[in-house]
Amino acid sequence: MSFHTANLRWKIVTFLVAPITFVMTLDRAAMTVAAPTIQKEFGLSIVEMSMILTVYFWTYALGQIPAGRLAERRGSRKVLFTTSALWSAMMIVTPLGASFAWLFGCRAVLGGAQSADWSSGVVALKRWFPHSERAKGNSILLAGLYLGPIISAPLTAWTIVNFGWHAVFYGFGAIGLLLGLVWWTGYRDTPAEHPFITQEEAALIAAGQPQESAAVKGEFLQCFRQPRFWLFGLQYFLLVLIQSFYTTWLPTYLMRARGLSLKAMGMYASLPWVAVFLAVFVAGAVSDRILKRTGSVFWARTPVAMTGFVVSALALIGASRAAHMPTVIALLCLSFAAVGFVQVVVWSAAQDLGKAYTGVMSGWTNLWGAASNVAGPMAVAFTVKVTGSWESGLFLIGAAAACGAVLWIFLHPERPLQRKPSADNADFASVPGAV
């Protein structure tokens, strides 16, 4: 792969950052798809298997903020190379043990190591992209994340059928190790230090970096005293309530509530993932275009996020009440596509708000997302059990998510959480509420 190009930053995110995130999603999903086979082979109970599956999310959540801070201090190059090697090694050694304790331990280390992926990617994008292009850069990173669920299940299932479940872990682990080496070779934490960058592109990136104060040891703890820091996490929790429905209950919903066959469900359940995959590219272009036209971070982020929240919630509720299957699928696709719009804006705003503490901000945000990935499916399951209606479950998470739109009124992404340097940036001078 050649990096000699006037647009090296786009090659960095497309061929280095996004692929590692994509492989991370493959590794994450491998155990889920292989679980029935592994459970039967080792004679594990349903409780033991559930512990193996869920320990990943606990260690993944607990590692978010430390990993984000580490990416800021040590750089994404070292952190992502080290952690990707660790989680890939865990994939490779997983089939070597045949006990509950071994599988549980491998899965726990995998989650902790993968907690560094997202914050390292967000920090890398912040350093490599001018402020006016960050939404499009984040859209490529999100595309790598959303491509995983489209490919992981059929690829994993095909590999298990043809080569056995061991091959899944060996193969995905080997790919991860290879990508880690490519990452170490092709990435630099400072664009100007990259051997293949042109002077023109380095100057463009440097000129497009908003002024910010240098990080001070321990100063990031002050973020926890700011209401907007907590509100930002809460709005992401509300957003992921809807996303969690697609990652957990959508196949069950289509079969039990809508009466689809297994074959039909497999086809229809993939369509919302295609919709959100495409939507993030549109969202990135829209947000960056608004920023270039208005010069306002507020208008490029807040109205887009609020609209996405409302459209997603209303479409999900509408899908739960629709009578005809084409309408149901269309509304489900619209709802998840709107989630993609908010996702792009969220991670761009995390960079706007976090500045030198973007890693902490992204880790904090992802921590709330991990909590929502647990709470959302549980809320739906409890509501459906009590009411006997899937419509009630979807209405609950849709209505809750709609509240996320209200929170954006108070977030003000144009006002960084970090104390601003003495010379205010022109980028923040003409936006609503700028100080």
Count of Cβ atoms closer than 10 Å to residue 216 Cβ: 12
Query: Number of C-alpha atoms within 13 angstroms, CB side, residue 26?
Result: 27
Query: What pLDDT, on the 0 to 100 scale, is given for residue 218?
Result: 62
Residue 382: phi, psi to the nearest 5?
Answer: -65, -45
Of 177, 171, 173, 174, nearest to 155 by C-alpha is: 171
Per-residue pLDDT, averaged over 257-271, amounts to: 84
What's the residue count for the chain? 435
Of 283, 246, 243, nearest to 368 by C-alpha is: 243
Query: What pLDDT, on the 0 to 100 scale, is given for residue 255?
Result: 87
CA distance 233 to 365: 5
SS (H, E, C) the chain: CCCCCCCHHHHHHHHHHHHHHHHHHHHHHHHHHHHHHHHHHHCCCHHHHHHHHHHHHHHHHHCHHHHHHHHHHHCHHHHHHHHHHHHHHHHHHHHHCCCHHHHHHHHHHHHHHHHHHHHHHHHHHHHHCCHHHHHHHHHHHHHHHHHHHHHHHHHHHHHHHHHCHHHHHHHHHHHHHHHHHHHHHHCCCCHHHCCCCCHHHHHHHHHCCCCCCCCCCCHHHHHHHCHHHHHHHHHHHHHHHHHHHHHHHHHHHHHHHCCCCHHHHHHHHHHHHHHHHHHHHHHHHHHHHHHHHHCCHHHHHHHHHHHHHHHHHHHHHHHHHCCCHHHHHHHHHHHHHHHHHHHHHHHHHHHHHHHHHHHHHHHHHHHHHHHHHHHHHHHHHHHHHHHCCHHHHHHHHHHHHHHHHHHHHHHCCCCCCCCCCCCCCHHHCCCCCCC
Determine which of 39-48, 135-144, 190-199, 308-317 has the lowest per-residue pLDDT on average. 39-48
Give 196-252 pLDDT, tens digit per residue: 999 999 999 999 988 766 656 666 678 888 999 999 999 999 999 999 999 888 888
Give 69-90 pLDDT, tens digit per residue: 999 899 999 999 999 999 999 9
CA distance 192 to 116: 24
Of 184, 122, 185, 129, nearest to 7 by C-alpha is: 129
- For the chain, give the mean pLDDT: 89
pTM of this prediction? 0.85
Query: What pLDDT, on the 0 to 100 scale, is given for residue 57?
Result: 86
Q: What tokens were used for 239?
A: 């957003």
CA distance 38 to 33: 10
- Higher confidence at residue 177 or residue 263? 177
Q: What tokens were used for 312?
A: 């997603």
Give 133-166 pLDDT, tens digit per residue: 999 999 999 999 999 888 887 888 889 889 999 9
Residue 265 CA to its chain's centroid (Å): 25
CA distance 292 to 151: 35
Asked whether 435 and 415 are in contact (CB, 8 A), the reply is yes
**Please, where in the chain does CATH 1.20.1250.20 lie?**
8-207, 220-428
- The domain at 220-428 falls in which architecture? Up-down Bundle (1.20)
Per-residue pLDDT, averaged over 20-41, amounts to: 89
Domain 8-207 annotated CATH 2.60.40.420: no
- Higher confidence at residue 91 or residue 158? 91
Give 355-387 pLDDT, tens digit per residue: 888 999 999 999 999 999 888 888 998 899 999
> What is the four-CA torsion angle of 241, 244, 250, 252, rounded to 10 degrees?
-100
Quickly state the pLDDT bin for 422 (edges 50, 70, 90). Answer: very low
**Residue 434 in this model has a pLDDT that exceeds 70:** no
Per-residue pLDDT, averaged over 328-343, amounts to: 97
